[in-house]
Amino acid sequence: MIKSLKTRRNLIHLCCTLCLFIFLKELYSLQELDISNDYYIDEDIFTHIRDVKFSPKANSIYFHVTSLQGYMKPSAACAVEAAARAHPRKEVYVLFTSPITDSDIVTRRYMSITLKKIQRFRNIKLLRVHLPEYSNGTVVESLLLNNLKNSIFPEQHTADIVKILTLNKYGGVAIDTNMIVLKTLSSLPPNWILKENEIYVAPGIMGFAKNGIGLNVTSAILKEIADTYKPNNLDITNRIVIEKVVQRICPIRIRWDGCKDIFIYPSDEFYPIDNVFGMSFPKAPLSQSAFSFHLDTLTSAVHMVSQDILNTFCPSIYLEFQDNLLVLD
């Protein structure tokens, strides 16, 4: 009898152990599945520009994500958030030129977080553009569809060309994904660029109308790009061609405030390096004296200063990534 009871207890214990093992195994499998699903992003997550009868307002703001994986970096999301906060009544469009492709779980996690954060802003619109359709009938169609395959800098060249193409089509303001806007750009005229120095322009942020002189300038830039493109020259699609076109319209060195309805602003109003390098964060002077600054500046700034600036102008993205925001690129 005693032996029978011991045998029965052992069987019960064995069954309980086996059941526990099966339960834990299934639970672990479910957890793995949940983790994967949490960060799964459909490659067609973005509405296509053709499906929304795209007709943006003339004062809209544009960012372009041209990564071949469709990946938007956290620093780019910071730039988008800053622009949206500075312009709550304007539409801020982020145009993706590639679908989101499969990638490692860490990349998917970062992308999932950034998308959730910026989609909370009602004025931020994420859209997908198909380059063959977007460039159809333009002077850069062949370049975008064929010649860029040989580019040493495909992501940057695509961004430069599509940025000008967008302004040519719709007008508005185009901002590179490494530019942080500090205050509204609404006070600026329809057609404006920045000068980096006495010779070159700074192409990181610019505004052009879709008609008149704005259309003439962007059309001329696109033609210059198509005629002079070189796959091994990083600047051939931005500062070089813009400077050539502006020089032809205004045949003097770039030292002026404006010419033929094109306003040219000094770089210190958009690239306030001296202020950023200060030992303490001059929030009020920075936003009062400048419209924007370049994110690359922060990599050399005092750590506390760079974190304070990011926390002020893109707090949602900064809250998630904090010290890693500038190193995840």
pLDDT at position 91 is 97
pLDDT at position 252 is 61
pLDDT at position 268 is 74
- Per-residue pLDDT, averaged over 172-190, amounts to 93
pLDDT at position 44 is 63
pLDDT at position 107 is 75
Cα end-to-end span (Å), the chain: 72
Given a cut of 90, whether residue 104 has pLDDT beyond it is no
pLDDT at position 205 is 93
pLDDT digits (tens, 9 = 90+) for 279-328: 455 555 555 557 887 777 665 555 566 777 888 899 999 988 886 776 65
User: pLDDT band at residue 72, thresholds of 50, 70 and 90?
Assistant: confident
Q: What pTM was estimated for this model as a whole?
A: 0.82
24 to 17, 21, 30, 34, 56: CA distances (angstroms): 11, 5, 10, 15, 53
- 4 vs 10: CA distance, rounded Å: 10
* Angle subtended at Cα 82 by Cα 204 and Cα 54, rounded to the nearest 5 degrees: 75
The 10 Å Cβ neighbour count of residue 129 is 23
User: pLDDT band at residue 169, thresholds of 50, 70 and 90?
Assistant: very high
DSSP-derived 3-state class of residue 152: coil
pLDDT digits (tens, 9 = 90+) for 108-166: 788 888 888 999 999 999 999 999 999 999 999 999 999 888 999 999 999 999 999 99
pLDDT digits (tens, 9 = 90+) for 238-288: 888 998 898 888 766 555 566 778 888 887 777 665 544 444 555 555 555
158 to 180, 226, 320: CA distances (angstroms): 21, 12, 29
Domain ranges of the chain: 47-324
pLDDT at position 23 is 42
pLDDT at position 108 is 77
pLDDT digits (tens, 9 = 90+) for 186-227: 999 999 998 877 667 888 999 999 999 999 999 999 999 999
Residue of 196, 230, 199, 203 lying closest to 218 (CA atoms): 203
Q: CA-CA-CA-CA torsion for 247, 249, 252, 256, nearest 10 degrees? A: -100
User: pLDDT band at residue 31, thresholds of 50, 70 and 90?
Assistant: very low
- Per-residue pLDDT, averaged over 86-114, amounts to 85
State whether CATH 3.90.550 applies to domain 47-324. yes
Given a cut of 50, whether residue 36 has pLDDT beyond it is no
pLDDT digits (tens, 9 = 90+) for 39-67: 445 556 788 888 888 899 999 999 999 98
pLDDT at position 211 is 94
